[in-house]
């Protein structure tokens, strides 16, 4: 399947296994660090490529070593980077991830992340693709105003569409997202995002509130698994057990697994189980892409967990 992904592109500097979480005026130590490919969109792109899909990535980076690092990592993973722009007037963004097996905190410098706009994605760009995905909605200041129309253009060209908003650093959870969702086929928020977007403390109530009669909403619940309402039925899948090294990008690997199976027409429960396996397996190594699963690995894992 030919998939176009547009979004943010930056490296992650991962500071791993803090003893205590840092406080203002204090210094803490971590056990390890690494520089890896970051950004929700890029981690999803690599996940899809590892599953065997044909993926093209559109983004903007600076004409700098961080930008070269990111495009090189994507290319080595088999992702087409011909639509990535290197701009000398911008700096490539970067995220510092302070992580442990329990959770993580992120500090991001947007840089070029906020510069990609709908103008960079003309209608002709969708020719030949089957699906269009965008991540990190709240980080992409230039793309957001035109994203609803961009999704509409993609759908008019015969593509299906999907969106993962990511967290809103401003915590305003702008209502323009609700309008954008009318042109989105699959929405993939986590439980924090569901609560923020809908104002509902209860995730199930939030799912119901997001129902617009068109968009399939798949809620990612971390250690509680995942859930969706599909054809009038509530489908909930528990999380798979795994020895966690780093949770960075687990939700993006889940996205890749879900889209891979949903696009080939698998049953909804199978899509959710496969996606959960992809998310779980991605946490075995440092960074979002190091231990992402192949199709055979994910299928073998979820069948083994199901006792088949």
User: Which domain range does residue 268 map to?
Assistant: 2-305
Task: Give the pLDDT confidence score for residue 159 in this predicted structure.
Answer: 98
Q: Count of CB atoms within 10 A of residue 201's CB?
A: 8
Radius of gyration, alpha carbons of the chain: 18
- Average pLDDT on 50-66 reads 97
Q: pTM of the predicted model, to two decimals?
A: 0.93
- Average pLDDT on 145-160 reads 97
pLDDT band at 303 (very low <50, low <70, confident <90, very high): confident
Return d(Cα 26, Cα 22) in angstroms, integer.
Answer: 7
Cβ contacts of residue 142 below 8 Å, gap of 6+? 114, 115, 116, 117
Q: Which CA distances in Å does 58 have to 5, 42, 244?
A: 6, 10, 31
CA dihedral 8, 280, 204, 232 (to 10 degrees): 100
Residue 287 · residue 37 · CB < 8 Å? yes
pLDDT band at 287 (very low <50, low <70, confident <90, very high): confident
Nearest CA to 83 among 125, 137, 139, 130? 125
Residue 95 · residue 108 · CB < 8 Å? yes
Return d(Cα 60, Cα 256) in angstroms, integer.
Answer: 21
Cβ contacts of residue 19 below 8 Å, gap of 6+? 28, 29, 30
Task: Give the pLDDT confidence score for residue 106 in this predicted structure.
Answer: 83
Tell me: the pLDDT tens digits for 29-38?
999 888 999 9
- Average pLDDT on 185-190 reads 98
Residue 308 clears pLDDT 70, i.e. is over it: no
Return d(Cα 84, Cα 177) in angstroms, integer.
Answer: 25
First to last CA, the chain: 28
Tell me: the pLDDT tens digits for 206-227?
999 999 999 999 999 988 999 9
CA 179, chain centre distance (Å): 20
Task: Give the pLDDT confidence score for residue 307 in this predicted structure.
Answer: 63
The overall average pLDDT reported for the chain is 93
Structural domain count, the chain: 1
Return d(Cα 100, Cα 203) in angstroms, integer.
Answer: 25
Q: What is the CATH number of the domain that holds 250?
A: 3.40.1190.20
Tell me: the pLDDT tens digits for 225-238?
999 999 989 999 99
Tokens for 271? 């899509």
């Amino acid at each position: 399947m030919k998939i176009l992904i547009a979004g943010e592109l930056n490296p992650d500097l991962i500071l791993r296994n803090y003893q205590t979480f840092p406080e203002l005026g204090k210094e803490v130590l971590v056990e390890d660090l690494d520089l890896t490919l970051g950004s929700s969109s890029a981690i999803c792109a690599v996940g899809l490529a590892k599953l065997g899909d044909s993926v093209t990535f559109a983004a903007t980076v600076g004409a700098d070593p961080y930008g070269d690092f990111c495009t090189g990592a994507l290319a080595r993973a088999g992702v087409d980077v011909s639509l990535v722009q290197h701009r000398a007037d911008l700096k490539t963004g970067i995220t510092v991830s302070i992580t442990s097996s329990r959770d993580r905190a992120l500090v991001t410098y947007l840089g070029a992340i906020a510069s990609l706009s709908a103008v960079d994605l003309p209608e002709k760009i969708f020719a030949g693709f089957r699906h269009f995905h965008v991540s990190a909605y709240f980080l992409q200041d230039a793309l957001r105003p035109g994203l609803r129309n961009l999704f509409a253009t993609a759908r008019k060209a015969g593509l299906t569409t999907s969106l993962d908003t990511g967290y809103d650093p401003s915590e305003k959870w702008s209502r323009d997202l609700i309008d954008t969702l009318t042109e989105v086929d699959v929405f993939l928020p986590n439980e924090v995002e569901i609560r923020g977007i809908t104002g509902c403390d209860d995730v199930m109530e939030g799912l119901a509130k997001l129902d617009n009669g068109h968009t399939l909403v798949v809620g990612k619940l971390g250690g509680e698994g995942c859930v969706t309402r599909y054809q009038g039925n509530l489908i909930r899948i528990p999380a798979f057990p795994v020895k966690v090294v780093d949770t960075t990008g687990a939700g993006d690997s889940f996205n890749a697994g879900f889209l891979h199976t949903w696009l080939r027409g698998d049953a909804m429960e199978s899509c959710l189980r496969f996606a959960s396996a992809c998310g779980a397996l991605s946490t075995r190594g440092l960074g979002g892409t190091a231990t992402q699963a192949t199709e055979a690995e994910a299928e073998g894992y979820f069948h083994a967990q199901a006792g088949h």
